[in-house]
Chain A
Amino acid sequence: MGQDSAPRPYLSIVLTGRNDGYGGDFVKRFLASLQFNHRELSGRGVSHEFVLVEWAPVAGAPLLADLVEARCPPPVSAALRTVVVDAAYHEAMTLNPLLRFHEYLAKNVGVRRARGEYILVSNCDVILGRHILAQLERRSLEPQVVYRAPRRDLVAALDIEHLHWEALEDQANLARPGKQLRPPYFRGSTGDFIALDQMSFHRLRAFNEIYRLARVGVDANLLVLALSSGLTIVDIGGPVYHIDHEGSFQTLKAKYVAGESDAQHGHERWNFNSVVYRNRPQWGLSDAPEEPRGPRRTYLQFSWDAVPPLVDLSGVVLPARREDGSSSTSADA
């Protein structure tokens, strides 16, 4: 992937998306968040890169990467690397034909290729809060610690193109009361903020690639694996912000409550709290042939050699701590 010779940033922010109009004007929300986060990180001297994984682009539609790069100011574009993943990977890997977007397979592609000392896995419309930015500015993150942040949902009516701290931090703009993260897993909108040092992320082999039937719970499943692998999970101490939109999990959850099997997010009640996983060493489509398409863009060409087996039951394991009562981990094996 490009930019391998560039200095290693302190932080890689892994994001995923595609131009499918998810949640209304996805591109607008993405650009607003991207620019805000870039401005705030740069202002604090936090060296960073954004790794955007465009998973299974919609045939016939412009690439999200093109739309973003075209509308991004040059400094933001310079911090953005994109990995476009051939749509055939989605078809080859999915175990749930109803799932349109394998968010965490996409995030794994980004995690695998992120160069930062620390990797933050987040979403395109998530805005980093002031406390988090301060922590990053102080470079106070520690290895082998999974950092979580609570999410504050803001009302959809907020002017996303003119974001400022007063609007973000105004309690009156909260769409619903914020939830407190609770130990041991500090779950809750987990996919919006998981930060971990690169080495530990690689040691865990990132998100579950064995159970490819759901989007829901895959993020929490990583926390179960992390804890059973001896990592520490903490609340970083301040929130991220997210502006409400149509099609978010919160709104879809109510829609599909009667017919979960039809839900676009896949099964909601699978055993992500009690069963963990062991991805193959080639997780994150590491064997996929990479085709450079510009200085900051890579295209992952489809190859069956890079596709994990449809079924890999040996990768379904119990948390090591529960298995034998010790704190040793399956991920250490």
Chain B
Amino acid sequence: MIRRLLRGVGLATRGEVHAAEAKLRDVRARLEKATARLAEASAAAQRAQETRREDARRFKARVTELESDRQRHADRHQDAAARASRQIAQLTEELRQRDRQLEASLRQETELEQQVASAKQDLETARESLSAIEVKLDILEGAANVLDVRTRGLRPSRSDDGPG
């Protein structure tokens, strides 16, 4: 009844005050804990955000770096392709030049071969002519020998030369 009366005038008992104070302390303690946890969570979130930001930054930097690399590679490849194209053109020109030189060499070789064949034929002809000449010389020599023998046979002996 008293409690009811007190409540009616807005007062509380000591027990109630103590209980309320204890509850308050408890709430405060929980609040502090929650605040601390919130602060921790905020800090963690902050850290996570920082980490994400940092990751994002690193990612971006990496992407930039890769993009740069890619660009560098692309540039390098483009340069290489340009150089290769120039080299190909140069080589093609060299090849054409060599083809022309080769054709000229082949023509020269063919001409030389023809000259060699002609020289060989001339040599063979000369050899054959020489063979024929040798045979003719043999015949002439033989005839000379035979005529010599015959002439000696015709020569009068000393007793036929005259009186005496």
Q: Which of A's residues lie within 8 Å of B, judged by CB?
A: 94-97, 210-213, 267, 270-271, 274-275, 310-311, 313, 316-318, 322-323
Contacts and interface: CB of A to CB of B under 8 A. Distances in A.
B139 A311 contact: yes
B96 to A, nearest CB: 40
A95 B143 contact: yes
Interface of A is mostly: loop
A94 B142 CA distance: 8
B131 A275 contact: yes
B136 interface: yes
If over half of B's interface residues share one DSSP class (helix, strand or loop), that class is named, otherwise mixed; here it is: helix
B127 interface: yes
A94 B147 CA distance: 11
B95 interface: no
Nearest to A93: B146
Nearest to A266: B142
Report, nearest first, the 9 A-B pairs whose CB atoms are least far apart.
A95-B142, A271-B131, A274-B131, A213-B142, A311-B143, A310-B143, A275-B135, A313-B136, A318-B128
Interface of B: 124, 127-129, 131-132, 134-136, 138-140, 142-143, 145-147, 149
B141 to A, nearest CB: 8
Contacts of B143: 95, 310-311
B132 A318 contact: yes
B131 to A, nearest CB: 4
Given A213-B139, A318-B128, A322-B128, A97 B146 contact: yes
A109 B139 CA distance: 21
A275 B149 CA distance: 28
Contacts of A211: 135, 138-139
A294 B145 CA distance: 38
Given A97-B145, A271-B131, A311-B140, 10 more contacts: A95-B146, A97-B146, A212-B139, A213-B139, A267-B138, A311-B139, A313-B139, A316-B132, A316-B136, A323-B128
B135 A94 contact: no
Contacts of A94: 146
Given A316-B135, A316-B136, A318-B132, A274 B127 contact: yes
